[in-house]
Structure 1
Amino acid sequence: MVQSWSAWKRFPDAQAGGVVEAPIGPGVYEVRHTMTGRVVAFGSANNVANAISELKVNGGVSAFARLFGKQPLVSRVNDLEYRTYATASRAEAKTAARSLKSLRQSAWRRRLDHGMAARHAG
């Protein structure tokens, strides 16, 4: 069976009663900024739904928390969307995450190489 990414879904606002729609099992997740496409979280987890739910995404934290705690990913949850990639095991999730990360890095290198070549040609 060929696995693939889920469709992109809006990141839920827990304060408004939103819930994560993701596998309650192993897999890979990716969270990105809706307008820019900038990836703000990516990883593998034993329970994808919990991993996404536990991400620190709200910008409304105290100054004390900002000094000593984990920084929020973005200022507004509404600016995020996520997708998931279910796997059969945690080991498979880790392997898939490494592979997907490697593919992304290769694509960025090619894009940068093409951009540099275009600059030098012009």
Structure 2
Amino acid sequence: MELNWSGWKKIPAPEVCRQIEGPTGCGVYQIKNRKTGEFILFGESKTCLKRMKSFFPKPYGTGTRNNESKREYILANWPDLEYRTLETETKEDAVKIDRYLKSLKLHKFNT
């Protein structure tokens, strides 16, 4: 499956994490540790940018996602993390890509 991802970008510092860039509509994101090369996590949303603003735990990030272990990992490792995004036409397209990424079993948090 060939996907037209954005380039890799550095995860912003916790204090400015709400300034992260990504698709405002449907899309997929992926995070990796640039130091180790390990893929960390991925996800999809019909409002991708809004979801990405919840990468960090409060008081930095937004939202009420129930994924504290992922948020704590991001907070502890953010200087070494980078992300990329993929805008999709529909939520269904984003879900298909999310399922594909999950099937690869490459990510530390493969959920």
* Same structural fold, with TM-score higher than 0.5 when normalized by the shorter chain: yes
Structure with more helix by fraction: 1
The residue type equivalent to 1:48 in the other structure is C
State which structure, 1 or 2, has the greater radius of gyration over its C-alpha atoms. Answer: 1
After TM superposition, the score normalised by the length of structure 1 is 0.65
Which aligned runs of 4 or more in structure 1 are off by greater than 6 angstroms?
A: none
**Structure 2 unaligned regions, length at least 5:** 59-66, 107-111
After TM superposition, the score normalised by the length of structure 2 is 0.70
| Counterpart mapping for 1:1-40 below 5 A | 4-16=4-16, 19-40=19-40
How many residue pairs are counted as aligned between the two chains?
94
Query: Cα–Cα, structure 1 residues 39 and 57, in superposed 2: closer, same or farther, change >3 Å?
Result: farther
Q: Percent identity?
A: 29
**Structure 1 vs Structure 2 CA RMSD:** 2.5
| Counterpart mapping for 1:54-93 below 5 A | 54-56=54-56, 70-71=68-69, 72-74=72-74, 75-93=76-94
Q: Is the 8 A contact 2:17 2:56 kept in 1?
A: no
**Structure 1 unaligned regions, length at least 5:** 59-68, 109-122
Q: Is the 8 A contact 2:30 2:41 kept in 1?
A: yes
